[in-house]
């Protein structure tokens, strides 16, 4: 079977492809998250008295715990490699519309830089990408803390424990790697890959933004409704940023910074500082 690179892939090809990529990654997480929130809401204790633990220890034996942590990070990134491979396979450089993505009637041509250029993952503008990433992290992070505080006081969120690893030399490096893994997986798959494919399938811009943002919120739903709303808002902001500049790398930087602060800060600072979570 050969792929005609001179023609855009049809919805019959792209639709199942998107479902498979999501089913192997964050779509699967969204389903489990929905089941988890139902379990939390039907439990004997109120949601506010339950705990959602991120980056938990996987074994009482330190070397085995480290092994599990690193394997989890590695295999979580495999769907990212798959998504980039699928975009590279097509090697299409869409005729861009005003929105910066594929127009419905566009006829694709060969892409010079492949998926890295298509998604804005190349290193052409490291300084600007880092600056935009830091700015986005500050823009999202401060209001996000406020939203978590409100959600905690309204009782619509579980208590979030960002990190619960043993106090060993490898804990902080693993938390940094975990933050980077979350950022790479979510921003490349949920923003870069998904939004590109949905536009190639002819979805309108509003629907594309909504799909990306709601997916981001849904796989955080296990933490509670405050986390869902906060991540939907973050998803809208990140989607609009990608539409404007077509670069995922600043989003990866921003997300990594947010998670590093949350994970490493929780691990190093006194626990009472985070009682409001």
pLDDT average per 10 residues of sequence, the chain (277 residues): 51 92 97 98 95 96 98 98 93 45 40 78 92 96 83 88 95 98 98 96 97 98 95 97 95 97 88 59
DSSP 137-149: HHHHHHHHHHHHH
Report pLDDT for 273. Answer: 61
DSSP strand E in the chain: where? 51-53, 92-93, 109-110, 159-161
Alpha carbon of residue 156 to chain centroid: 22
Report pLDDT for 105. Answer: 40
266: Cβ contacts below 8 Å, ≥ 6 apart: 161, 162, 163, 274
Tokens representing 50 are: 């339950």
- d(CA 33, CA 213) in angstroms, rounded, equals 15
DSSP strand E in 17-63: where? 51-53
Report pLDDT for 99. Answer: 45
Residues 224 and 34: beta-carbon distance below 8 Å: no
pTM recorded for the entire structure: 0.88
């Amino acid at each position: 079977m050969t792929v005609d690179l001179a023609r855009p892939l049809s919805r019959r090809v792209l639709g199942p492809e998107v479902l498979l990529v999501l089913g192997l990654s964050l779509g699967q997480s969204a389903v489990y998250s929905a089941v988890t929130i139902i379990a939390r809401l039907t439990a004997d204790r109120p949601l506010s008295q339950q705990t959602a633990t991120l980056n938990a220890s996987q074994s009482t034996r330190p070397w085995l715990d480290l092994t599990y942590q690193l394997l989890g990070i590695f295999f979580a990134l495999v769907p990212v490699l798959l998504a980039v491979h699928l975009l590279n396979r097509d090697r299409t450089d869409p005729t861009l519309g005003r929105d910066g993505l594929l127009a419905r009637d566009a006829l694709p041509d060969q892409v010079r830089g492949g998926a890295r250029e298509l998604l804005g993952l190349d290193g052409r503008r490291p300084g600007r990408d880092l600056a935009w990433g830091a700015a986005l992290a500050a823009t999202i992070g401060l209001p996000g803390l406020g939203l978590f505080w409100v959600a905690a006081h309204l009782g619509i969120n579980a208590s979030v424990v960002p990190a619960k690893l043993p106090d060993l030399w490898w804990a902080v490096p693993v938390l940094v790697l975990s933050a980077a893994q979350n950022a790479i997986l979510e921003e490349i798959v949920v923003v870069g890959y998904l939004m590109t494919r949905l536009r190639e399938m002819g979805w309108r811009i509003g629907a594309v933004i909504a799909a990306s943002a709601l997916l981001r919120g849904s796989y955080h739903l296990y933490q509670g409704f405050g986390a869902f709303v906060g991540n939907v808002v973050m998803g809208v902001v990140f989607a609009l940023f990608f539409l404007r500049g077509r670069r995922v790398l600043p989003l990866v930087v921003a997300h990594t910074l947010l998670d590093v602060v949350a994970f490493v800060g929780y691990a190093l600072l006194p626990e009472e500082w985070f009682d409001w979570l």
